[in-house]
Structure 1
Amino acid sequence: MPTRREGRTVRLLRCGDGSGRDVNAVRSSAASLATLAQEAKSCTRCPLYRNATQTVFGEGPADAKLMVVGEQPGDQEDIAGRPFVGPAGRVLDRALAEAGIDRTQVYVTNAVKHFKNEPRGKRRLHRKPTRSEVEVCKVWLLQEVAVVRPALVLAMGVTAAEALAGRPMTISRERGRALVFPDGQRGMVTVHPSSILRVPDEAARHQAYAGLVKDLKVALKTLQAV
């Protein structure tokens, strides 16, 4: 994962350079992810597929050291079939770049794979998934984590954090700290980029964004120490 530190490009360990995963293992992981994505396309385990255009599975390198997990796809993600391509995704891209992290080297996904929405005229309004919906969909997320085996999983927002931690979470209290999720996976939590977009005051919005960048820099330091 190319990163930038003190004006220089730093490359974190990846496949074939001492990271412990050879090329064949990564190819196998990529094939496993492709199989999972194909299986998820026909998922009807909860009712959310009924109002969604399609399943939006995760994407990124099969040997990514950093996995970023959000809540669910939004309207634009639902149409495109890719995670984090809408307004929140653009905030994430900018924050990752400012933190020195190349998004193309990050595996990005969501706790819920279908867009939960309420049709309102020509619009589709975002609705937060219930705990039961998150729990049902967690089977896909946990398999993604197991296949990619990232050095760090960054959960953005309370839905993703609780899905991974398996307990109630308060982002303001837990953010930026080293966590260990029940499966032994090293993790961190931060705010979801969409929450920054909802801040009405410009100064407060700038502060919230700076907090996200700060958390991403902490994540980068954690990865560099692994």
Structure 2
Amino acid sequence: MTAEQFVPSDGDLAALAKAAAHCEGCELYRDATQTVFGHGNEHARYVLVGEQPGDQEDKRGLPFVGPAGALLDRALAEAGIDPAETYVTNAVKHFRWKSAPDRGKRRIHEKPGTTHINACRPWLLAELSRLRPKVIVLLGATAGQSLFGSGFRVGKSRGVPVDWQPPEGSGPGAKAVATVHPSAVLRAPDRDTAYAGLLADLRTCAELAGRLD
């Protein structure tokens, strides 16, 4: 089962978001508070794709509004990328989590599986077909696997612009650049070095977008 049957064949981003609120393309909708769809400029030069909503995103209904989002905003500003020219979304639109009996009511992030990535891919493709960005920023392995398949590895591809071609008939291609997810920076033993790597990759994206103008 995938989200394909829930994705409207036409309509703008607002129509997609409205339809996504009722998606039951995989089992994750059962335990999530709500669908967390993409948000930002419908004429964005950059589309930033993360993994899935976190606890705060699930509660608020917006992507990248937690600690990882704050770090990403800082890095974008330092890289010279105007937030007004971005659209942020996730490869998977529902929060996958597990409870931890020794941590009270806290919900613990659980990485989405291949079935979840595949099930939700139609939503991401639909977003990209409406947006038609110049640069797609892949924040982590899940984002890369959503567009390039299960064999994608950030370590082999990060910081290097590659061509991405959508399925036939769904719009023009774009340049994609992979980097680490901001949450990986927050978890890194050497956060300064990890942040510097993220920043360098985002600067590559900014330079690439300038060349594509």
TM range (shorter): 0.7 to 0.9
Deviates more, 1:109-118 or 1:159-168: 159-168
Which one of the candidate residues 200, 204, 210 is aligned to 1:214?
200
Structure-1 separation of matches of 2:198 and 2:122: 28
Deviation at 1:171, TM superposition (A): 1.0
* Residue 163 (structure 2) aligns with: 180
* Correspondence 1:113 to 2:93: yes
CA contact (8 A) 1:188 1:219 kept: yes
Name the larger-Rg structure.
Answer: 1
Moved over 3 A (4+): none
Structure-2 separation of matches of 1:129 and 1:166: 14
Q: Which amino acid aligns with 1:114?
A: H
5+ residue gaps, structure 1, are 1-30
* Residue 75 (structure 1) aligns with: 55
* Residue 127 (structure 2) aligns with: 144
- Specify the SS of the correspondent of 2:152: coil
* Residue 7 (structure 1) aligns with: none
TM-score (norm 1): 0.83
* Residue 130 (structure 1) aligns with: 113
* Residue 66 (structure 1) aligns with: 46
5+ residue gaps, structure 2, are 1-10, 167-172
Number of matched pairs: 193
Structure-2 separation of matches of 1:45 and 1:173: 31
- Taking only the aligned residue pairs, the percentage that are identical comes to 49
* Residue 87 (structure 1) aligns with: 67
Structure-2 separation of matches of 1:190 and 1:85: 19
RMSD over equivalenced CA pairs, Å: 1.1
CA contact (8 A) 1:166 1:182 kept: no
Q: How far does the alpha carbon of each residue in 1:80-123 deviate from its partner, in whole angstroms, 9 at most, with x for none?
A: 10000001001100100111112232000000000000123310
TM-score (norm 2): 0.88
